[in-house]
Amino acid sequence: MNLNELKLAYFKRRSQIVVFDHDGIVLESCNTLSSISNGINLFEEIPFMQGLQHEIAKLRIGEPVIYNCIHTSVFDYQSFFDFIIRKVEDGDDVKWVWLIYDFHEQYENILELQQQRNVSHLQKTSLQKVNKNLVEEIETLERINEGLKTSGSSNILIKSDNQLINVDMKDVLFFEAFGDYVKIHTSKQVHVNYNRIKNIETKLPEDQFVRVHRSYIVRIDKIENIEQSSLQIGDKIIPIGQSFKSSLLDRLEQL
């Protein structure tokens, strides 16, 4: 076997040549992939060919029409194919040659890449949408809360478990950061709100609340006792962060 034969061996196993006439009748086929008998009408039997009759008839001699990546079946043989159809002269006759290449493996690899690209794009847009909705909700709540604050109300509206809850600031014991959420501990229950503790801090009346730790803001009049590095509200021990200690003591002194 010479080098050229070796090179072409793969394609011989993975390709097929079919010759047909103007009416789509098969004149010859090498039947490497799919068994196609002479006399069969391709324009009636092969879905891919159906509807193409006029276009194929219009081809100029020698001019190929190339179809890449066609996922279909050629009789009982299903795969990803490349097809080339060409009109040729054979003596006084014209015939059409249909080259079939089976590129299943190659196209499977491309499929995998495209799948990854599309899925990650879809995930990204759906996250962006969720994020946009959340940002809009937060903005609306902030506007309402700003209104409440200027009207002197001691209430704040928060979203927790898909419900809008009107929380009376006088009932709040402390706020606790919890990942992307903030837990609002009141004397009756705990609400969870999608928010940042830093953001909450700016919204609270300064004379009533104080930040005591990276993760905690407490209501000053609910503090029961204070030790070196912690304080107590109800039965909860809350740590006091080093960097917050002096400002806490300042605030307590002012009282």
Partner 1 sequence: MEISKKVILTGHFGVGKTSLVQQFVKQKFSESYLTTIGVKVDKKQVDVDGAKVNLILWDLAGESSAIKVPKSYLLGTQGIIYVFDVSREETFAYLDDDLLELKKSMLEVPHVILGNKSDLMNEEDLASIKSKVPHEVAFTSAKENTNVEEAFLNLTKMML
User: Residue 95 and residue 19: Cα distance in Å, rounded?
Assistant: 7
* Nearest residue to 241 via CA among 249, 109, 3, 46: 249
CB neighbour list of residue 99: distance below 8 Å, 6 or more residues apart = 15, 16, 17, 83, 84, 85, 86
Residue 135: helix, strand or coil by DSSP? helix
* One of 41, 72, 145, 155 touching partner 1 (CB under 8 A): 72
Closest separation between CB of residue 229 and partner 1, Å?
52
Residues 174 and 216 sit within 8 Å (Cβ to Cβ): yes
**Residue whose CB is less far from partner 1, 9 or 111:** 111
User: Residue 131 and residue 36: Cα distance in Å, rounded?
Assistant: 56
153 forms part of the interface with partner 1 (CB under 8 A): no
Closest separation between CB of residue 234 and partner 1, Å?
45
Q: Sheet harboring 225-226: ordered strands across?
A: 225-226, 230-233, 236-239
Which of 17-25, 42-50, 203-211, 217-225 is the region at the interface with partner 1 (rule: CB under 8 A)?
A: 42-50
69 forms part of the interface with partner 1 (CB under 8 A): yes
User: Residue 143 and residue 44: Cα distance in Å, rounded?
Assistant: 68
* One of 9, 119, 127, 164 touching partner 1 (CB under 8 A): 119
* One of 2, 3, 39, 47 touching partner 1 (CB under 8 A): 47
* One of 121, 132, 143, 214 touching partner 1 (CB under 8 A): 121
| Residues in touch with partner 1 (CB under 8 A) | 43, 47-48, 50-55, 65-72, 80, 107, 110-111, 114-115, 117-119, 121-122, 125
